[in-house]
Amino acid sequence: MSAAGGSPRRDAPLGVFDSGLGGLTVVRALRAALPDEDIVYLGDTARVPYGTKGAGTVTRYALGCAGHLVSKGVKAIVIACNTVSAVAPERLRVELDLPVLGVIEPGARAAAAATRVFKVGVLATAGTIASGAYTRALAACSTRIEAYGQAAPLFVPLAEEGWTEGEVPTLAARRYLEPLAKAGVDVVILGCTHYPLLFDVIEREAKAMIGPNVTILDSASVVAREVASFLRERDLLRERGAEAERDDVARTGRTHLFVTDVPKTFEETAARFLGEHAGAAEQIDL
């Protein structure tokens, strides 16, 4: 279904939105999994973060973001924001005549498939943990699974500052992993778009504290795989152009960035999350 209610357009872009720039880790994973797709990204940088805000406010903001993506003719919407994925996906599915994919359910499904002891840890913002969304999503996968949530507020500024190695990220990771290790989990979901930047230190400390077979699930990569399956099943994958085939270029998809405010360190922060130079962003008012 397209926004206009007609047949789906394979060549239409994928829409992705987040409260800020952290969702660019999802764009990075999508570009790796689906190099030929065009992506329209909206970061609501004027109102970031959503994690501390109430469900009504977050839902209102999410409807505004999704509306902008619909106006750009997207074929599906990926909610890169854990907070929005926790409170608003059903409302967005009802209001929009479009497929809407959040980050929480794919992460929960991957965790349920990976755990051998039926104990799963979740590291996320205080807001996401308090929402209980991962606990519900894991319970929907298997009633045997026990979920252990741990807020990790320091990880966001550490990721934004690029302070991803050394004693402070290590001590922070140990503090946040300690209750999960005590609980005996064997899978840890990184339930915030910022945390993939700290993947190495979290994985190293988790292996030391929990055991070498612990699985760390980066929800950006998980959701990208799920979006790829979703598009394939519904025959919505963008066709690779004959020209690209002939020239054997690595990818043909383009990314268009929209923000609601241009943060002072936009280029640096965006490049950190995207893993490459981000190009210019267009500022819009929601």
Q: Which are the catalytic amino acids? A: 81, 192
The residue (of 36 and 261) whose beta carbon lies closer to a second copy is 261
Q: For the purposes of burial, counting CB atoms within 10 Å of the CB of 237, is it exposed (0-12), middle (13-18) or buried (19 or more)?
A: middle
Smallest separation, CB 64 to a second copy (Å): 13
The residue (of 215 and 269) whose beta carbon lies closer to a second copy is 269
The verdict on 165 binding a second copy (CB under 8 A) reads no
Judged by CB under 8 A, which stretch of 9-17, 29-37, 86-94, 163-171 contacts a second copy?
163-171
Pick out residues in 12-51 that bind a second copy (CB under 8 A): 20, 45-49
Among 168, 208, 228, 271, binds a second copy (CB under 8 A): 168
Smallest separation, CB 263 to a second copy (Å): 5
Count of positions on this chain that bind a second copy (CB under 8 A): 31
The verdict on 209 binding a second copy (CB under 8 A) reads no
The verdict on 122 binding a second copy (CB under 8 A) reads no
Instruction: Please check whether residue 260 is in contact with residue 286, taking contact to mean a CB–CB distance below 8 angstroms.
Output: yes
The residue (of 43 and 121) whose beta carbon lies closer to a second copy is 43
The residue (of 163 and 230) whose beta carbon lies closer to a second copy is 163
Binding residues for a second copy (CB under 8 A): 20, 45-49, 52-54, 57, 126-127, 130, 153-154, 156-158, 160-161, 163, 167-168, 171-172, 175, 261-265
